[in-house]
Amino acid sequence: MMLIRSRRLRATQALRDLVAETDLRPRHFIQPYFVQAAEGVSPIGSLPGIARTGIEATCDQVEADLKKGLRSVLLFGVPEGKDPDAHGAHDPEGIVPKAVTELKKRFGQDLVVMTDVCLCAYTDHGHCGLVKDGVVVNDESAALLAEMALVHARAGADLVAPSDMMDGRVAAMRVRMDEEGFQNTGILSYAIKHAGAYYGPFRDAADSSPKFGDRRTYQMDPRNAREGLRDALLDLEEGADVLMVKPALPNLDLVYRLRDACHAPIFAYHVSSEFSSVKAASERGWVDGDALMLQHLLAIRRAGADAIVTYAGREALQKGWVD
């Protein structure tokens, strides 16, 4: 005799929904935006359905997203000029502060505005920090990143999101923003961010590939888990409000372990290659792209992520993948 029959609770959709452990809601999504200086919409070939947008076009898209319940955005700047010292990164007239100002003017508290803080789109060499004698230097980079964060805070960002992976950048930002009276601007730290092959389509979109070498002297070694947990807890001590893990699916172990290791909110970044691989395979007819994407997102939530940065956010709402 079989007393326990698990299939009883799988018999109908209503029963399955009744006992479902994980949900996806509009509030779980953060939509990335690539803001460019030129007005209009420039589709990104390697990120199907995603475009670089001028400030007006960005605001219009955000307005449409908001109507669907998508209330959080992460902004990346695609600046026109680059130089060795990333001057554009902390220019108060730069594309990101301008976009933040406009978004806050139009949508105020209805929208959560997060800004990526990193130098790679602003340096001509494409590294995330300043380069001296061929080496990405740490402390000077962290100081400059703190200025960049301050400029975003002044423009009205709710959360600044350092993705550069310099040591001590969270503390540097916290101190600098506090000095200038921005105690209430939060820090979403890319706390665990692995180096590797997952960011290709993004670098096309943001024009941010390193022109020499790679990012392995600052981003984490994908072979390591404890290294990430240690650094993530250090970010909390430095004043991070939210911790992010990236890429998401290769690091679900770390999302899960971090969930247990601290009590801060944890976000995961479903990065460009995770998204684009599904799209490419789907275009070939090899996979059911919608079903596969939804399963990615559910797995990330199930591992313990409170919110997900994903290029599929808008699509998820439009296609009704949410509860």
Tokens of 183: 């105690």
Of 44, 55, 96, 128, the one binding Zn ion by CB under 5 A: 128
75 bridge partner residues: 33, 115
First-to-last alpha carbon distance for the chain, in angstroms, is 38
Residue among 167, 213, 172 at smallest CA distance from 90: 172
Q: Which does 271 bind (CB under 5 to 8 A by kind): Zn ion, ligand PBG, none?
A: ligand PBG
Q: Does 118 bind Zn ion (CB under 5 A)?
A: yes
Side chain identity at residue 100, one-letter code: V
Q: Does 163 bind ligand PBG (CB under 6 A)?
A: yes
Q: Does 160 bind ligand PBG (CB under 6 A)?
A: no
Helix (H) or strand (E) holding 174: helix 169-179
Taking CB under 5 A as the binding criterion, the range among 77-85, 115-123, 269-277, 314-322 that sits at the site for Zn ion is 115-123
Bridge-based pairing state of the strands 159-162 and 186-193: parallel
- CB of residue 251 vs ligand PBG: minimum separation in angstroms? 13
Tokens of 3: 């007393």
82 flagged as catalytic: no
48 bridge partner residues: none
Q: Does 118 bind ligand PBG (CB under 6 A)?
A: yes
Of 120, 146, 159, 316, the one binding ligand PBG by CB under 6 A: 120
- CB of residue 303 vs ligand PBG: minimum separation in angstroms? 18
Q: Does 145 bind Zn ion (CB under 5 A)?
A: no
3-state helix, strand, coil in the chain (%, to 5): 45, 20, 35
Question: What amino acid positions are annotated as catalytic residues?
Answer: 193, 246
By CB under 6 A, name the binding residues for ligand PBG. 116, 118, 120, 128, 163-164, 198-199, 202-203, 208, 271-272
